[in-house]
Amino acid sequence: MSFPHQLALRFHRRRFPPPPAVSTCCSFATPPPRDSSFLSSSSSSSVAMSPEISMLIRRAAFIFTAVTLSALLLYTANDSLRFLRLSPGSLSSPSFSRFFPYLYDNSSSTNPRQQLEEVLKNASMKSNTVILTTLNDAWASPNSVIDLFLRSFMLGDDTRRLLDHLVIVALDEKAYNRCQLVHKHCYALVTEDVDFHQEAYFMTPHYLKMMWRRIDFLRSVLELGYSFVFTDADIMWFRDPFPRFFSDADFQIACDNFLGRPDDMNNRPNGGFNYVKSNNRSIAFYKFWYSSRETYPGYHDQDVLNKIKFHPFISEIGLKIRFLDTAYFGGLCEPSKDLNLVCTMHANCCYGMDSKLHDLKIMLQDWRAFMSLPPDLKKESIFSWRVPQNCSLSSLRHFDSPSPEMKAQQEEKH
């Protein structure tokens, strides 16, 4: 054999050494040498299998995408469905029954009363007392009333802790979703065939329905054994009001006009702020108050209260009523004069969202300016509110009584 052939053979043996011997006791054999025929057959085999593998990969990717999107849809819709589940009538859409059939199973839905009791329990103080406010879509938008309301608790003197006991009662789905973003205690109050999401202008039929729905709801809170402070969301909280409440009263309410004595029944109450203890007397009173809407059609809750506060039934049940001094619980109708005393300030006597927001913002600015004063200047009580500005009592005068048709019905009834 020539030298070139010997060299080539030696090179070939280095590149492709002989396979090692395989023991007969082993079940795995070493793969055969990767000669050119093996490589060519393997390559052709992989090419032949690639369409099948590609199809499997596409199917797997499609299934994974479908499952992921479905899970995302269910997750993002969870809060909305939690609200809708309370109202079977709102789930009449065929698409809901097709994609979410379990929502129609009444046995799987929690009783609204049980849901309310759970929310109240989580927010309650040791004395079984909660703070309640109602919210609809018109007041729930970012930078709207609800944000200013919550901001006042943050800016107030020792009021931030009271947020732990505040329950926001949402009157529509958007308000509930917004509550979930800004607060931890939210309850969805669903009213069949009534849409409370729009701004309820003073004394309109929509406003009246909202006010009376509130009275009926508060009665249910009392029946569950919870006392409450009800506050409109357009009331700014600057100090803890509890030290200013009367310890022996069943029903205490703020005033548009305070005449000087808390037991004077001629004080003009404002239903936007009250403290009510849960007992048989207060429950009977709220039932009587709610039923009186039929006796005085076209009147809102506080006008009806002005009429029934003299009714013999109040004395018969032994309800003790006290009216809160505007020095502590003021409003734009009658502002608190001394910022060293004020607990709450109400944007009452105000018509229209823009006017209300404007004056509420000024109110918060005034409070921050007052709190930044040195202690000696605070005590001199030289600082006063710059409100009302856009709000005024005159803007409400033509809304503060029933329509002529309602008046005619009232006269015919009596």
Q: Is residue 218 part of a domain?
A: yes
The whole-number pLDDT of residue 47 equals 44
The overall pTM is greater than 0.85: no
Q: Are 216 and 134 in contact (CB under 8 A)?
A: no
The mean pLDDT value of the chain amounts to: 79
Rounded CA separation 41/16 (Å): 19
Q: Is residue 127 part of a domain?
A: yes
Q: Is residue 377 part of a domain?
A: no
Q: Is residue 407 part of a domain?
A: no
- Of 135-139, 220-224, 309-313, the least confident: 135-139
- Of 61-70, 127-136, 144-153, the least confident: 61-70
Q: Domain range spanning residue 307?
A: 112-327
Instruction: Convert the pLDDT of each residue in 148-200 to its tens digit.
Output: 999 999 999 999 999 999 999 999 999 999 999 999 999 999 766 555 444 44
Q: Give the CATH number of the domain where residue 163 resides.
A: 3.90.550.10
The whole-number pLDDT of residue 67 equals 67
**How many structural domains is the chain composed of?**
1
Helix (H) / strand (E) element for 252: namely strand 251-257
Residues in a beta bridge with 322: 252
Residue (of 354, 347, 339, 353) closest to 388 by Cα position: 347
Instruction: Convert the pLDDT of each residue in 205-253 to its tens digit.
Output: 667 888 889 999 999 999 999 999 999 999 999 999 999 999 999 999 9
Residues 6+ apart with CB under 8 A from 168: 133, 134, 135, 146, 179, 183, 185, 186, 187
Q: Is residue 13 part of a domain?
A: no
Q: Is residue 388 part of a domain?
A: no
The whole-number pLDDT of residue 404 equals 42
Q: Is residue 131 part of a domain?
A: yes
Q: Is residue 298 part of a domain?
A: yes
